[in-house]
């Protein structure tokens, strides 16, 4: 049964108002408004902890047609503060679907709005930058919704990694083998890889996605996931072969505890960072970070590998970036974004560390950068 839509209003802190109809949970929500250009994968996006505190505008106009399924969740909950779309599909057409999107959001208390002119909205965000916003499906009074938007937290200086991280360490025991079937598997609890190797990776959870853990498992890794505030000494005590720095939300400069820990770990074991982990690595190496005007979010970002000039299409979700001009001389930019030339990757061989700003695990997105996980394995092999 199709959920009944109710009048709703989206308000941006600059005073602009965007009417529509509410679905999912009926209520109010606020956060930083951003947009994502992915054509598919709305459930993976909603459950990505990196979207904590953000209202996601999908540029794809037709959303909800494939429903939802537990297999597509990237964490144990929806982290996005709200969802903004152009048109909600009236039907679900997928053999994998277990629940329509409106019911899925309603059960999880997530407020969403449809029938918004998202083309105009995205152009507005691109021109004026990401800003605070609010959605209400309980009142369409402009003053009330605008006040809610202006009361939302500012992303600058905001440490959100603590809010999304696990409370206690845990072991990950699931491999993702679909992308190279049969070659990397967990059999009777034993992790097997093409190389026959067996590696223990300690993964910092700043908001880690499940597919990252699956791909580490698929490469023959035993993974211990630790909270964002775990000290360097605690990581060393776990005797890892490699250290992984995960994606996550918020301002990387606010994660001082993580920056200090990574600085202590530099050079001890191979380090691989993604997204927020990349930014934290950059800060630990002595660089600075800055907030992008509207960020990079989507599955179609062109990135150049500086060593080979190869161009890879990649999946992104970040609102901050490392300032390449502040990097020390022994650290190089390994990847560049071809849309705006911002730093998309770092290489610090003297410190046994490398990182990328984007998401090689995709989910959703292309798989041009799968080799980055294989490189991590090679680094751990060389260090043994």
Catalytic residue list contains 361? yes
Residue 101 CB: number of other CB atoms within 10 A?
Answer: 27
- Given the residues 52, 335, 359, 379, select the one marked as catalytic: 359
Q: Which of 22, 18, 45 is nearest to 362 (CA)?
A: 45
- Asked whether 289 and 321 are in contact (CB, 8 A), the reply is yes
- Given the residues 221, 275, 342, 343, select the one marked as catalytic: 275
Helix, coil or strand: residue 174: coil
Residue 252 CB: number of other CB atoms within 10 A?
Answer: 27
- Given the residues 13, 32, 344, 361, select the one marked as catalytic: 361
Catalytic residue list contains 359? yes
- Asked whether 108 and 81 are in contact (CB, 8 A), the reply is no
Residue 325 CB: number of other CB atoms within 10 A?
Answer: 8
Structure tokens at 368: 């041009």
Four-point Cα dihedral 188, 194, 200, 204, nearest 10: -110
- Asked whether 284 and 362 are in contact (CB, 8 A), the reply is no
From residue 257, give the alpha-carbon distance in Å to each of 53, 122, 235, 252, 327: 21, 35, 13, 11, 20
Q: What are the residue numbers of the active site? A: 275, 359, 361
């Amino acid at each position: 049964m199709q959920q009944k839509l109710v009048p709703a209003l989206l308000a941006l802190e600059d005073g602009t108002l965007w009417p529509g109809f509410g679905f999912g949970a009926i209520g109010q929500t606020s956060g930083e408004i951003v947009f994502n250009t992915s054509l598919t994968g709305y459930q993976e996006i909603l459950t990505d902890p990196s979207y904590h505190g953000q209202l996601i505008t999908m540029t794809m106009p037709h959303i909800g047609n494939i429903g939802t399924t537990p297999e597509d969740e990237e964490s144990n909950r929806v982290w996005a503060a709200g969802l903004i779309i152009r048109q909600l599909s009236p039907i679900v057409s997928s053999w994998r679907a277990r629940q329509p999107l409106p019911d899925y959001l309603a059960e999880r208390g997530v407020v969403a709005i449809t029938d918004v002119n998202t083309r105009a909205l995205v152009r507005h965000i691109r021109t004026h930058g990401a800003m605070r916003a609010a959605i209400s499906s309980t009142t369409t009074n402009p003053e009330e919704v605008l006040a809610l938007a202006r009361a939302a937290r500012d992303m600058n200086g905001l440490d959100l990694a603590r809010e999304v991280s696990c409370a206690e360490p845990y072991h990950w025991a699931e491999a993702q083998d679909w992308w190279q079937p049969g070659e990397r598997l967990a059999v009777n609890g034993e992790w097997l890889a093409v190389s026959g190797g067996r590696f223990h990776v300690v993964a910092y959870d700043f908001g880690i996605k499940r597919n990252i853990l699956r791909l580490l498992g698929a490469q023959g890794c035993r993974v211990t996931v630790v909270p964002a505030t775990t000290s360097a000494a605690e990581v060393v005590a776990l005797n890892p072969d490699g250290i992984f720095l995960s994606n996550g939300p918020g301002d990387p400069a606010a994660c001082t505890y993580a920056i200090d820990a990574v600085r202590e770990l530099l050079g001890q074991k191979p380090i691989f960072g993604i997204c927020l982990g990349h930014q934290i690595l950059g800060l630990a190496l002595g660089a600075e970070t800055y907030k992008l005007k509207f960020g990079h979010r989507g599955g179609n970002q062109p990135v150049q590998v500086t060593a080979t000039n190869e161009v890879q299409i990649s999946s992104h979700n970040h609102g901050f970036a490392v300032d390449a001009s502040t990097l020390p001389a022994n650290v190089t930019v390994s990847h560049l974004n071809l849309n705006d030339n911002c730093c998309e990757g770092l290489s610090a061989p003297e410190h046994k560390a490398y990182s990328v700003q984007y998401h090689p695990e995709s989910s959703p997105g292309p798989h041009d950068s799968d080799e980055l996980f294989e490189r991590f394995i090679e680094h751990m092999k060389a260090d043994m």
